Chain A
Amino acid sequence: MRKLLHAILLGLLGAGIVHVVVLLLVPGFSERDAWSRLAMASDLYRMTRLDAEAGGAPVVKSVDPLFYAAACRFDLSEGMVRVKAPGNVPFWSASVYDRGGHNIYSFNDHTATGKVLDTIVLTPAQMIEIRKDLPEELQGAIFVEAPIDEGMFVVRSFVPDDSWKPVVSRFLEQSSCELQDY
């Protein structure tokens, strides 16, 4: 009987250890995280719609039904990435995520000059490089310094009612996510 009790206590102690280990391993081994889902849907530097409206199941979960969203994956070790979207929509917001889906930086249309989405994501080292001689066409862009290699850029845009659907769809479909040579 004492042996049984001993085994159960040992088991509970083990359960505690397993709990902590599993919890810490989940982020590293998950194949259902946002990056993996996006990787299944499209290639690097390709803007992909996240909501179900574009056809098919939503790529990433829990997008507000009154919002459309698009995302692209990038790799800063290949160079900096420039994200642009033309057009005027009621509200847009953008976020930079790292490989594990952590939000590194976010901003919305009030931050941008003239409400136009024109952003460059780059590493601090690339930032030092580009500061030496800032090209003319990048003057109005928002620079996001992110100390990461692989990451994701997400643009979300508000659809107040049905009449805005084509406008917001066009805004996201014409958005670009390009590797910028410098």
Chain B
Amino acid sequence: MLKNAFLTLLALAIAIGGGGGSVWYALKTQDGIGAIRIGQWTAFPDIGTQAADPYSKARVAREGVLALGQAEGLSFVAERDSGGELLKRQCAYEIEGGFPTARFWTLYAADQSLGVVETGKPRPAALQSYQVLRQPDNSVVISVGNRPAPGNWLFSDGVGRMYFVLTFYDTPIASSTGLSDVTLPQIAKVGCNA
């Protein structure tokens, strides 16, 4: 009798714990269903629309996100550098490459909650396309780190994990057909302040 009760309890614990835990885990990971990956950059073009999958819908509801509409823009998030290692706030990076067509774009260094990194200085950890210097071939090189750098410098500071959020505004790539042949810049690690 007691053994039966124990087995029932075990089955219930696995069902509720496993079911709930797996949902929590699925919503927490950046990579998910409905994601489009270009190099190290991930986007969810369907997020916040009626056509989104149940995971995206749950994520929207749980985090209170108001996703950008298609006529507004599309956000890409990177959590690893081109070498496949997680981005860290104590490291310096170089973001280099061409950017797809858009009216303008913004790039910022983010913390775990995808809010902008608090630098504690007047300079925000964000750049936008009207203020960057370009190479002769129209590509852009951006140095990321806590030391000022010549050219384009994205200031980031502190320790812990970091994400880059790159958002294109008023862009044709937001319609999903435009996403097939888009290339995004590479993220190379320069060095770390261990």
Chain B contacts for A8, CB-based, 8 A = 10-11, 14
The stretch of B67-75, B79-87, B136-144, B179-187 in contact with A is B67-75
* Min C-beta distance of B133 to chain A, whole Å: 15
Q: With an 8 A cutoff between CB atoms, is B113 at the interface?
A: yes
CB contact between B68 and one of A11, A32, A95, A104 (< 8 Å): that residue: A95
Contact B23–A22 (Cβ < 8 Å): yes
CB contact between A93 and one of B11, B57, B169 (< 8 Å): that residue: B169
Q: With an 8 A cutoff between CB atoms, is B93 at the interface?
A: no
Contact A11–B12 (Cβ < 8 Å): yes
A110 with B15: in contact, given A61-B65, A161-B131 (CB under 8 Å)? no
Q: With an 8 A cutoff between CB atoms, is B30 at the interface?
A: no
* Min C-beta distance of B45 to chain A, whole Å: 11
The stretch of A80-88, A129-137, A150-158, A167-175 in contact with B is A150-158
Docked complex: A93-122 residues within 8 A CB-CB of B: 93, 95, 97, 100-108, 110-111
Docked complex: B45-61 residues within 8 A CB-CB of A: 48-50, 52, 54-55, 57-58, 60-61
Contact B66–A36 (Cβ < 8 Å): no
Please tell me the size bucket of the interface on B.
Answer: 35 or more
Q: With an 8 A cutoff between CB atoms, is A17 at the interface?
A: yes
Chain A contacts for B103, CB-based, 8 A = 91
* Min C-beta distance of B172 to chain A, whole Å: 12
Q: With an 8 A cutoff between CB atoms, is B20 at the interface?
A: yes
Q: A104–B19 Cα gap in the complex (Å)? A: 31
Q: With an 8 A cutoff between CB atoms, is A71 at the interface?
A: yes
Q: With an 8 A cutoff between CB atoms, is A163 at the interface?
A: no
Contact B108–A66 (Cβ < 8 Å): yes
Chain B contacts for A75, CB-based, 8 A = none
Chain B contacts for A4, CB-based, 8 A = 7, 10
Contact A16–B19 (Cβ < 8 Å): yes
Q: A106–B74 Cα gap in the complex (Å)? A: 12
Interface residues of B (CB under 8 A from A): 3, 7-8, 10-20, 22-23, 26-27, 48-50, 52, 54-55, 57-58, 60-73, 103-104, 106, 108, 113-116, 124-126, 128, 130-131, 165, 167, 169-170
Interface residues of A (CB under 8 A from B): 3-4, 6-8, 10-19, 21-24, 26-28, 30, 32-34, 36-37, 50, 58, 60-62, 64-67, 71, 91, 93, 95, 97, 100-108, 110-111, 152, 154, 156, 158, 160-161
